Amino acid sequence: MSKKKPKKQEFQAEVRQVLDIVINSLYKEREIFLRELISNASDALEKLRHLQLTEEKVHDDKLTLEINVTSDDKAGTLTIQDFGIGMTAEELVENIGTIAHSGSKEFLTALEEGGERNESLIGQFGVGFYSAFMVADEVTVYTHSWKEDEPGQKWVSDGSSYELEESEGQRRGAKIVLKLKEEHKEFAGEDRLKGIIKRYSSFVPFPINLNGEKVNVVDALWMRKASEIKEEEYAEFYKFQANAFDEPQFRIHFQSDAPLAINALLFTPRDNLEKFGLRRETAGVSLHCRKVLIDAEPKGLFPDWLRYIRGVVDSADLPLNVSRETMQDSALVRKLNQVLTKRYLKSLRDEAKKRPEEYEKFWAQFGHHLKEGVATDQEHKENLAKLLRFETSFTEKGKLSGLEEYASRMTEDQKEIYYLCGQSREAIESGPYLEAFKARNLEVLFLLEQPLDEYVMQQLLEFDGKKLVAGDAEDLNLGDAEEEDSADRLSEENATALCAWAKEALGERVTEVEPSERLVDSPACVLNADKMGSAGMRRMMKAMGQDESLAPLAVKLQLNTAHPMVRNLDALRESDEDLAKLVAEQALDNALAAAQLLDDPREMIARSYQILERVTKT
């Protein structure tokens, strides 16, 4: 193959946009660029170390795994060299000439909304390399891939376009040379550089040499005794490991010998980046064996719903040469998963007890993930149930309660735990289903995250031996209300006749009409007539866009025979049956709406005008 001429190439349009943002507005601290370049060097070395375990032939195999930072303050240049995996020509174009990550567009929109958080976003979106242009006029990458027969490459860019050509005599890895801007020459100063490296890169697991002198302590924090580690060390390690700028919300650091030898240091972040609606987190707890990184993002080490955890797990029981592919299905990783998940959930429970306010902050960010756990993972259901939090009819708006607390407030006669679903606390409070519980002074959980909460309840089925029961279930048996029954109730005979008439009038729309024992203030409510098409199921199927496969709605209508409207209706069906029919239809639609089961209000609106017309006639 003949040597190609350097070719000037334009960056992909999105790269240009990202570059502009990175250079002009993203960072408050320009010095971050060094952290990003060192972190890339460290990643490349980790990958190399892994290849050495799994591949037969790695180019330049004798090179030390280290990072060399050299500066020349007279010339105003700075070089960061690693002996990692390097890049081929294709990889150069793909990794730094385009934004291959599907996250690039999301990154741009995230920046618009991120505000203060911008700094924590950058490392997360894989655009760190470009931060070099904040301080440099020109960036040159000399590189040679670990693959023996790939030629060396030189990539050079001024931040507006780049040139790529083959380059002989390159050693394995990458050497990034920055020609510093006049106003940023300070970054060639040795003391300045030393400070930055110590500040941001203390935990890089490879030696970092600055002008020939080692500046970091290569130290596996997680292997040390917890009692000997300072708070700041943990915080710094978290920032390094999670590529984060915030402080962790919770931390656990533990060692165990049985059933597996584990050293684990796990962090719960403060913010849930998924809440920005930008992307889905991927596994972020790295797996090591006696300090050697096996996989930075091992799948299966934690269940997917705990994908927000950051940190390190080190197990001496892992075989070093395990490949990433086989590891995922290995019995050992499954066992690790089980042990770690249990341990993590237990630590959350401790936090909830010890620091309830902090736990609520955590819950606000990551509660959704725990619910996802209940919904998808049978194994940890019971432990997760104790971590759930809801508003209830006994708490103030915005205040939460766990199931254990609820259970502790249950009266002796109460055998079940009740819940109601709704769009908001207000919607539930003004709907017809809460009345029966209020009248009996029974607490009801308010499930406001739809349809997930309802699904969670259906998965749990019970808590601590107490059944979880929907407050709009048909077969609810709450016993007598505390208050005396209204004297103004329709007689049993009238009530039966009215219900029979209403069933006739409403036809196929209802399976049955009956007098209600649960209603107090509302005139009517609907109950699920068949289990498979329950209100909850319908709402869920609708949310999933699968409502077409549902059977037509079949509900039972209950009438409050003590309510003036219902009593009037009983008289009206004698005097003006046409109007009475309209009223019955309208009452049914109102009850469906309160149950979030009225899909199309058009008919209801037209009918309500008909009724209004009749009652406004003079």
Binding site for ligand ADP (CB under 6 A): 36, 40-41, 44, 82, 84-87, 95-96, 126-129, 174
Rounded to the nearest whole angstrom, what is the least distance from the CB of residue 44 to ligand ADP in the complex? 3
Rounded to the nearest whole angstrom, what is the least distance from the CB of residue 123 to Mg ion in the complex? 7
Rounded to the nearest whole angstrom, what is the least distance from the CB of residue 201 to Mg ion in the complex? 12
Angle, CA of 538, 544 and 546, to the nearest 5°? 65
Rounded to the nearest whole angstrom, what is the least distance from the CB of residue 38 to ligand ADP in the complex? 9
Burial of 33 (0-12, 13-18, 19+ CB in 10 A): buried
Rounded to whole angstroms, the Cα distance separating 40 from 152 reads 19
Q: Which does 76 bind (CB under 5 to 8 A by kind): ligand ADP, Mg ion, none?
A: none
Q: Which does 41 bind (CB under 5 to 8 A by kind): Mg ion, ligand ADP, none?
A: ligand ADP
Rounded to whole angstroms, the Cα distance separating 463 from 467 reads 6
Structure tokens at 570: 């009983």
Q: Based on CB atoms, which residue is closest to ligand ADP, 174 or 180?
A: 174
Q: Based on CB atoms, which residue is closest to ligand ADP, 35 or 371?
A: 35
Q: Based on CB atoms, which residue is closest to ligand ADP, 86 or 451?
A: 86
Tokens 């002198």 locate to 213
Rounded to the nearest whole angstrom, what is the least distance from the CB of residue 83 to ligand ADP in the complex? 10
Q: Based on CB atoms, which residue is closest to ligand ADP, 82 or 314?
A: 82
Report the interface residues with Mg ion, using CB under 5 A.
Answer: 40, 128
Rounded to the nearest whole angstrom, what is the least distance from the CB of residue 36 to ligand ADP in the complex? 6
Structure tokens at 487: 């004297």
Rounded to whole angstroms, the Cα distance separating 194 from 234 reads 21
Rounded to the nearest whole angstrom, what is the least distance from the CB of residue 177 to Mg ion in the complex? 17
Around Cβ 81, how many Cβ atoms within 10 Å? 19
Identify residue 163 by its one-letter amino acid code.
Answer: E
Around Cβ 376, how many Cβ atoms within 10 Å? 12
Q: Which helix H or strand E contains 180, and what residues bound it?
A: strand 173-180
Q: Based on CB atoms, which residue is closest to ligand ADP, 65 or 520?
A: 65
Structure tokens at 30: 């320009």
Rounded to whole angstroms, the Cα distance separating 444 from 453 reads 14
Q: Which does 566 bind (CB under 5 to 8 A by kind): Mg ion, ligand ADP, none?
A: none
Q: Which does 210 bind (CB under 5 to 8 A by kind): Mg ion, ligand ADP, none?
A: none
Q: Based on CB atoms, which residue is closest to Mg ion, 38 or 519?
A: 38
- What φ, ψ does residue 606 adopt, rounded to 5°? -60, -45
Q: Based on CB atoms, which residue is closest to ligand ADP, 129 or 363?
A: 129
Rounded to the nearest whole angstrom, what is the least distance from the CB of residue 43 to Mg ion in the complex? 7
Angle, CA of 339, 342 and 347, to the nearest 5°? 125
Q: Based on CB atoms, which residue is closest to Mg ion, 95 or 608?
A: 95
519 within 8 A of 525, measured Cβ to Cβ:
yes
52 within 8 A of 61, measured Cβ to Cβ:
yes
358 within 8 A of 351, measured Cβ to Cβ:
yes
Structure tokens at 479: 């016993």
Q: Which does 460 bind (CB under 5 to 8 A by kind): ligand ADP, Mg ion, none?
A: none
Please give the DSSP secondary-structure letter assigned to residue 438. Answer: H
Tokens 């490949």 locate to 323
Half-sphere exposure of 523 toward its Cβ, with a 13 Å CA cutoff?
Answer: 18
Q: Based on CB atoms, which residue is closest to ligand ADP, 86 or 298?
A: 86
The residue number with the shortest CB distance to Mg ion is: 128
Q: Which does 87 bind (CB under 5 to 8 A by kind): Mg ion, ligand ADP, none?
A: ligand ADP
Q: Which does 333 bind (CB under 5 to 8 A by kind): Mg ion, ligand ADP, none?
A: none
DSSP codes, 277-311: TS-----EEEEEETTEEEESS-TTSS-GGGTT-EE
Rounded to the nearest 10 degrees, the angle between the axes of helix 577-594 and helix 602-616 is 140
The reply to whether omega before 303 is within 30° of 0 (cis) is no
Q: Based on CB atoms, which residue is closest to ligand ADP, 31 or 82?
A: 82
Q: Which does 295 bind (CB under 5 to 8 A by kind): ligand ADP, Mg ion, none?
A: none
87 within 8 A of 150, measured Cβ to Cβ:
no
141 within 8 A of 176, measured Cβ to Cβ:
yes
Rounded to the nearest whole angstrom, what is the least distance from the CB of residue 82 to Mg ion in the complex? 12
Q: Which does 453 bind (CB under 5 to 8 A by kind): Mg ion, ligand ADP, none?
A: none
Q: Based on CB atoms, which residue is closest to ligand ADP, 82 or 570?
A: 82
Q: Which does 69 bind (CB under 5 to 8 A by kind): ligand ADP, Mg ion, none?
A: none
Rounded to whole angstroms, the Cα distance separating 540 from 454 reads 8
Q: Based on CB atoms, which residue is closest to ligand ADP, 126 or 356?
A: 126
| Stated length of the chain | 618
Rounded to the nearest whole angstrom, what is the least distance from the CB of residue 60 to ligand ADP in the complex? 14
Around Cβ 332, how many Cβ atoms within 10 Å? 14
Rounded to the nearest whole angstrom, what is the least distance from the CB of residue 217 to ligand ADP in the complex? 22
Rounded to whole angstroms, the Cα distance separating 294 from 53 reads 10
Rounded to the nearest whole angstrom, what is the least distance from the CB of residue 121 to ligand ADP in the complex? 12
Three-state secondary-structure class, residue 96: helix
Rounded to the nearest whole angstrom, what is the least distance from the CB of residue 279 to ligand ADP in the complex? 13
Q: Based on CB atoms, which residue is closest to ligand ADP, 86 or 515?
A: 86
